[in-house]
Amino acid sequence: MKKTLLSIALVSASLPSIAGEFHGSFSGMSGAAYATGNYSEGVLLNPSLGASYNPEKDDFALLFSVGALGSDKDDLIDQADELVDVIDNLQNVSELSEAQAEDLKRRLEDIDGDSARVAAGANLVVSIPNELVSLAFIVNARGYVSLAPDVSDADLDLIDRYLEQNLNPSDLDAELESEITGHGAIVTDIGVSFSKAFSLANGNHLLVGFKPKKVEVESIIYTSNVADFDEDDFDADDYTLKEDAMNYDLGLTYMAGKMRYGLVVNNLQDKTYKTIDPEETISIERQMTGAVGYVNGSFKAEVAADLNSVPAIGLGGEVQLMRVGLEYSAWDWLRLRTGIEQDSKNTLDDTYSFGVGVGALNLAYITGSEETEGAALSLGLRF
């Protein structure tokens, strides 16, 4: 069932995620590519990087990537699915046995306090480098879902009452009060990045980028009785609401010899989006990220840190990330990557990444605390 939920999140995200973008290249460096990323995939993080191309070898590029990250250390999704099966099986018996009652209570107690998180994303980039103004057409989608049960003590007493009074257990599901809730959103950016490089008198270069975009937010608030839990309902109309608005990203990159300095402002305007709950909204707020990178031939290193915290979509609390990444290229066709990402607000778990690139294919594996695991894949064509 964990695989089923993950597949739903991936499909939902790719139709129009835990923080950040997914890409087989920079995900291998834990997202540390705000200053050292190239003109194709780097523009996903910093719109000014569209102008960081080499006019002698770089041209039109088409890239596609997809990825997912999940944490379910308590096996909540499997346990919830098994609990539904146990309750369904009670429809076929006329009397609740002591063993069945104890099993049902144990299952409710086992999921109490558990949680699960899934993030997924997909993006498509068409980069057109140009000396006048470089363009990049970008579709970038991320899906975030967190699950948590709310187990009622009254249900344990209810099960005991059914046992003691020999009540028909087929009616038990209608009286259970315990619930499982899910919160999240699918956020899709559709925009065009404009970037230009300026040569300075000291021989260094300044890259400037601007990306107007349409931001579509499909909020998810899923609430279900434990007897009716079904992850296939996550995208049902009863639990989702879609809104969109215009927003803007800004990016600067200063290139001084082997050093790179980046500054990015994502979502220049703070926006609030409605959900199916009139009292609950989703906020996407302005976030600034600074980065310092070093590029020397086949070696690349970067430290990128968010300069302010923003609300964590679907997770509650706020996030403020720091990323450190390394890349080594060999023989012009093999690239090895590694990185680490930490959240100073402790909303997200620490993660570590490892990546490899072979030609146009890039793969990244992500792991971390709380049994967090994920992967990203990207493919591209350059002409």
- Rounded to two decimals, the pTM is 0.87
Q: Are residues 50 and 195 in contact, defined by beta-carbon separation less than 8 angstroms? A: yes
Q: Which has the minimum average pLDDT: 4-13, 162-171, 176-185, 358-367? A: 4-13
| C-alpha span between 354 and 380 (Å, rounded) | 20
Among residues 285, 318, 287, which one has the least CA distance to residue 305? Answer: 287
3-state secondary structure of 1: coil
Q: Are residues 49 and 39 in contact, defined by beta-carbon separation less than 8 angstroms? A: yes
pLDDT of residue 291: 98
pLDDT of residue 369: 83
Joined tokens for residue 136:
């990049």
260-299 tens-digit pLDDT = 999 999 999 999 999 999 988 999 999 999 999 999 999 9
**Which domains occur in the chain, in start order?**
2-382 (2.40.160)
| C-alpha span between 352 and 31 (Å, rounded) | 11
Q: How many residues does the chain have?
A: 383
Containing H/E element for 68? strand 61-71
Whole-number CA gyration radius for the chain: 24
- With a cut of 80, say whether residue 3 has pLDDT above it: no
| C-alpha span between 41 and 49 (Å, rounded) | 9
Q: Are residues 292 and 32 in contact, defined by beta-carbon separation less than 8 angstroms? A: no
| C-alpha span between 107 and 90 (Å, rounded) | 14
138-148 tens-digit pLDDT = 999 998 888 99
Residue type, 323: R
328-380 tens-digit pLDDT = 999 888 999 999 999 999 988 899 999 999 989 999 999 998 788 999 999 99
Joined tokens for residue 167:
């009540």
